[in-house]
Amino acid sequence: MNTQEIIAYILVVIAVGYLVKILFFKKKKKSCGGGTDCKCG
């Protein structure tokens, strides 16, 4: 693997992790109806 492939792979991993986090927080908000100040545990 060359440097460009490594950088591309890292960016893909970051992007996937970011999307998963967004989806997770959207589901979490729907389940308890709050944002960062949600009091559901």
| pLDDT tens digits for range 15-38 | 999 998 888 877 665 555 555 565
Locus of tokens 């960016």: 11
| Sequence-distant (≥ 6) Cβ neighbours of residue 31 within 8 angstroms | 40
| Tokens found for residue 8 | 């591309």
Q: Which two tokens stand for residue 34?
A: 């709050």
**What pLDDT score does 35 carry?**
57
12 band by pLDDT with thresholds 50, 70 and 90:
very high
Spell out the domain ranges in the chain.
Answer: 1-25
Check if the beta carbon of residue 11 is closer than 8 Å to that of residue 4.
no
- What is the predicted pLDDT for the residue at 24? 80
Residues 21 and 8: their CA atoms lie apart, in Å, by: 20
Which residues lie closer than 8 Å to 40 by C-beta, 6 or more apart? 31, 32, 34
